[in-house]
Amino acid sequence: MKILLAEDDPELAEALVRLFQREGLTIDVARNGEDAVHLGRSEAYDCAVLDLGLPRLDGLEVLREWRRAGLSCPTLILTARDGWSDKEAGFTAGADDYLTKPFLAKELLLRLKALVRRSRGPADRVIRCGRLSQDILSGAFYMGEDILSLTAFETRLLEKLLHNKEIVVQRSSLSDYLYGYADDVESNSLDVIIGRLRRKIGREMIETVRGLGYRLTARQG
């Protein structure tokens, strides 16, 4: 499951990132409203966690921008604003759920999983490519009936390829997705992770398209 977190409090954002990662979830963080609008439009997310008091563009306007753009990503507002008028404004703007701070981490996770389950329906819980599959609620990957043991980077890369199965994903897009715009990344880091994934799921499933990037395919050896 891939989550967009729009939160400007660095301590809370860091705590939520650790929480989601312990659950095997993938998370992108936007520190302000403008970045949240951009990420929501440019990436596919299973759900979003949105603070209302964001700099540059407040959370309500971010949500309105997403909905005006036709984005139906289930969105949970996570805020200290607990007045009825605030909740009414949030749901009117297009929120699917509303949770006030302070909150229980377990409740947040349960609410997010419920949002995804309702939005996708039980038939879409599993994404497949040949024998490879992912349970979108738990984030776990399987080859047939066997669960795969993956590192955080392997999970993130394989999720990107699976969500674009049978489509060539450019190397630059994969690198940016894994590392952001860090300039201290080894030039062969992506190749190393691809190599490890091939050993775990089968070399033939990740095709190298010379000069472009990689494609996950259902082909089996």
Query: What DSSP element (H or E) covers 11?
Result: helix 10-22
pLDDT in tens, 87-96: 999 999 999 9
Secondary-structure percent of the chain, ordered helix, strand, coil, rounded to 5: 45, 20, 35
pLDDT the model gives residue 58 = 93
Mean pLDDT check: name the lowest of 32-36, 40-44, 59-63: 40-44
pLDDT the model gives residue 177 = 75
Determine the Cα–Cα distance for residues 59 and 63; give it in Å rounded to an integer. Answer: 6
pLDDT in tens, 170-188: 888 888 777 764 445 566 7
More confident of the two residues 71 and 184: 71
pTM of this structure: 0.58
Kindly indicate the confidence band of residue 47, based on its pLDDT and cuts at 50, 70 and 90.
Answer: very high
Residue tagged 């312990």 (tokens): 22
pLDDT in tens, 129-156: 999 999 876 788 999 999 999 998 899 8
Query: What DSSP element (H or E) covers 35?
Result: helix 33-42
DSSP reduced 3-state for 75: strand
Count of other CB atoms within 10 angstroms of residue 88: 11
Count of other CB atoms within 10 angstroms of residue 175: 18
DSSP reduced 3-state for 145: coil
CATH fold group of domain 125-216: Arc Repressor Mutant, subunit A (1.10.10)
Residues 6+ apart with CB under 8 A from 105: 19
Determine the Cα–Cα distance for residues 156 and 182; give it in Å rounded to an integer. Answer: 16
pLDDT the model gives residue 84 = 87
The stretches of 69-188 forming alpha helices (DSSP H) are 84-93, 105-120, 152-162, 171-179
Domain residues of the chain, as ranges? 2-120, 125-216
pLDDT the model gives residue 120 = 63
CA torsion angle 130 131 136 140 (round to 10): -150
Mean pLDDT check: name the lowest of 16-30, 70-84, 120-134: 120-134
Average pLDDT, stretch 34-42? 93
Q: What is the CATH number of domain 2-120?
A: 3.40.50.2300
pLDDT the model gives residue 220 = 59
Contact 74, 67 (CB under 8 A): no
User: Judging by DSSP bridges, how do beta strands 126-129 and 132-135 pair with one another?
Assistant: antiparallel
